[in-house]
Amino acid sequence: MGLMTFLRNRAGYILVGAIGFAIVAFLVGDAINVGKPFWAASQKVVGSVDGEEINIDEFTPKVDQNLAQFKQQYGGSANPQMQAMAVDNAWQGEIANILLTKEYNRLGLTVSSDELFDLLQGKNPSPLIVQYFGNPQTGEVNRAEVINSLKQQDKNPQLKQQWDLLQTEVEKQALQKKYSNLIRNSIYVTTLEANDEYLNRNKLASFKYVNLDYAAIADASVKLSESDYSDYYNDNKKRFDSPAETRTFQYVSFSVSPTKEDSAAVKSQVDKLAADFKIAANDSLFAVVNSDVKVPYTYMSKGKLDPAVDSVVFNLPAGSFYGPKFSGNSYKLVKVIDTRFSPDSVKASHILIDPSKMGGADKAVKFADSLKTLVQNGASFADLAKKFSIDGSKDKGGDLGTFSRGQMVPVFENAAFNGKAGDLKVVTSQFGVHLIKIEKQIGSSKVAKLAYIEKSLTSSNKTKDAAYKKATAFLNEVNGGNFSELAQKKGYTVGVADKVTASQGFAPGLDNPRQLIRDAYAADKGDVLKDVYQMENAYVVAHLVDVKPKGPLPLDAVKKDIEPMVRRAVKAKMLTEKMNAALQGAAKIDQVAQKLGKPVLPVENIVFANPIIPGAAQENKLVGTVFGAQPGKLSKPVDGEQGVYAFVVDGFTNPAPLANTYKQKEGMMQIAAQRSLSGAFQALQDKANIKDNRVKFY
């Protein structure tokens, strides 16, 4: 029954696919960006992979489970960025599952019944079986527990469903391992490659150079022609292949941040609240009713509150009042109810009893008392837990491990921390009746019981209405042709969100942009979007200024983006001519430097694999040319990242012969294998026909 209890709270995560996540993380890497031809898709289709449709009804639960996992992992409530991550993770998982399943079938990769038996209950258990049934200390799997759980499937439909899900993931993991091994075993490094890599990392070059910086030519003095643009574009076409459709929009934000009047009104409200709080008869109830942030009315240790409050409150005696203290955009009011020294953590076990199965809470408490008496008379707590507890810890004799404050419900926490080692306590919580055994208490530090109120500094309705009115007036007046001009005339700042993808959950300066992005993808270039969009602290009006389709982008689409590179290329031509003139008739680098009025700069012990020029920059082309040059021979001009160079090699220092070719090959093969896995998946993705309609739904 250990699996039953363990999976009851985690079945959703298995549904999402534990190994699906591993596949994506291991193979996919960066977020998958695909095109967005959605006009012919049905209202239920989130997307398709090689004609296999992904239905919104099946996709949504996976997004929800991803979101739940992220909330658990990162804490706090869901936000637009977290939602976008959940959607993207689910989407990547769907693509990985479909493409890899097709690849497994094409290659004839299967998991036989004998292999599956071994993975589930044999001598070579799956990592998932180890996770669910293994001893945390030793990693050993309790095979008897696995077999017993499998036998109970016929009697328990819910357990059978969980085993079916687990078995599916075990098979997926096994197939993934086979596929990974197949790819890895195809990697080979030759002796020549091993020696080249060794030399690239250990052969040293020393040289002298003189350079002309691009920065020496003012940008304004460089006039760019159409041929300059086309030359650069034609030489670098592969750089302009867009992996996904993107949109660029301008926007104006109308702030709804609190005004001085709002701040004064909130301060007045807080001052009155403080006066009432000081004389309140029921501190905890008053705090719960009036606080924007709920802090448990229980003992807490130092470090859990805002530092501006925490540092003061824990030095105050019981009965003290602190505040109002403004920090982090909110006012804090604190009553110190009690202070004491308490354990830092507790190791405990418990037996959880379900009152509904005992005929009511009173009978459950009496039953817990009778178990307490049995333990006091020498009965084994662990044996009683295995027999009577309804909690998942029953299989470990009720052992809950070691926990600190804040990890248990208050009534349970108070009993565990306020008692002493060896105590048996009966308490009732929302989960049932607990018989708690305090095994051990660790450490000791000061804790305080606090009644805590936090009031946020928020904008008034008047402020929000005024901002919305301004935004609406601007939307009614503006059009695509005069957006920037009208904004400037009215003194508004125009923001730009550049190259936004359809599934993106963020945009510069905007904290909640999803609806705006969705509408941008339903608009045409030049459109002013139809709505005023509400962000956390602003209303926004937006204008779609550019649409870049998936695939090779034409020169016109990238002209503005490549202007700095084109200008640098033109400067390189200008400085190359100047460098050639200086090289004409020169036999030594000093003569070139003298003609240019530049110093000769020495460089010692540069390696090919790390092409960093001290005091300059990473200059791949320069260093590559150096390692292909002859010592003592003056070079031709080399146009680099920061300028145009001429150099002369003083000499090379070769390393000792490679002592262990096998070890060198092994290291290179490991790196190549890691790259090959992601490369193989990228190849599958590039060949697939993937349609992404997520923007219609999220």
HEC per residue, 110-124: CCCHHHHHHHHHCCC
pLDDT-derived band at 677 (thresholds 50, 70, 90) equals confident
For residue 544, what are its two tokens? 């779609």
From residue 46, alpha-carbon distances to 78, 93, 95, 246 in Å are 22, 13, 12, 18
Does the pLDDT of residue 698 top 90, yes or no? Answer: no
Does the pLDDT of residue 123 top 90, yes or no? Answer: no
The answer to which of 140-144, 416-420, 431-435, 534-538 has the lowest mean pLDDT is 140-144
Beta bridge mates, 154: none
- Spell out the alpha helix ranges (H) of 536-632: 555-583, 589-596, 620-627
Place of tokens 């299989």: 395
Residue-level pLDDT at 12:
43
- In the chain, the amino acid numbered 38 is F
From residue 665, alpha-carbon distances to 182, 203, 609, 669 in Å are 19, 18, 17, 6
Does the pLDDT of residue 327 top 70, yes or no? Answer: yes
Contacts of 5 (CB under 8 A, 6+ apart): 391, 392, 394, 395
**Rounded to 5°, angle at Cα 569 from 568 and 574:** 95
For residue 563, what are its two tokens? 């202007």
- Spell out the alpha helix ranges (H) of 293-377: 307-313, 361-376
Beta bridge mates, 631: 649
Euclidean distance between CA atoms 650 and 323, whole angstroms: 72
Residue-level pLDDT at 42:
62
**Residue 560 burial (CB < 10 Å; 0-12/13-18/19+)?**
exposed
For residue 605, what are its two tokens? 């012990």
Does the pLDDT of residue 531 top 80, yes or no? Answer: yes
Q: Is residue 83 within a helix (H) or strand (E), and if so which, with residue range?
A: helix 80-107
Euclidean distance between CA atoms 11 and 158, whole angstroms: 10
Euclidean distance between CA atoms 420 and 423, whole angstroms: 6
Does the pLDDT of residue 406 top 60, yes or no? Answer: yes
Residue-level pLDDT at 151:
85
Total-model pTM: 0.66
Q: How many CB atoms lie within 10 A of CB 463?
A: 17
Euclidean distance between CA atoms 43 and 37, whole angstroms: 14
For residue 570, what are its two tokens? 């033109």
Per DSSP bridges, beta strands 246-255 and 538-548 are antiparallel
Residue-level pLDDT at 131:
84
Does the pLDDT of residue 39 top 60, yes or no? Answer: no
Does the pLDDT of residue 4 top 80, yes or no? Answer: no
* pLDDT above 90 coverage of the chain, percent: 66
Contact, 644 vs 579, CB < 8 A? yes
**Rounded to 5°, angle at Cα 408 from 407 and 413:** 115
Does the pLDDT of residue 384 top 80, yes or no? Answer: yes
Contacts of 588 (CB under 8 A, 6+ apart): 634, 648
pLDDT-derived band at 601 (thresholds 50, 70, 90) equals very high
Across 191-202, average pLDDT = 95
pLDDT-derived band at 156 (thresholds 50, 70, 90) equals confident
Euclidean distance between CA atoms 576 and 643, whole angstroms: 9
Centroid of chain to Cα 375: 48
Using N-to-C axis directions, what is the helix angle for 661-687 and 80-107, rounded to 10°?
Answer: 100
Q: Cis before residue 324, ω within 30 degrees of 0?
A: yes
> In residues, how long is the chain?
698
Across 225-239, average pLDDT = 93
What are the structural domains of the chain? 2-184+689-696 (no CATH), 204-240+556-653 (no CATH), 246-257+460-548 (3.10.50), 260-342 (no CATH), 345-442 (3.10.50.40)
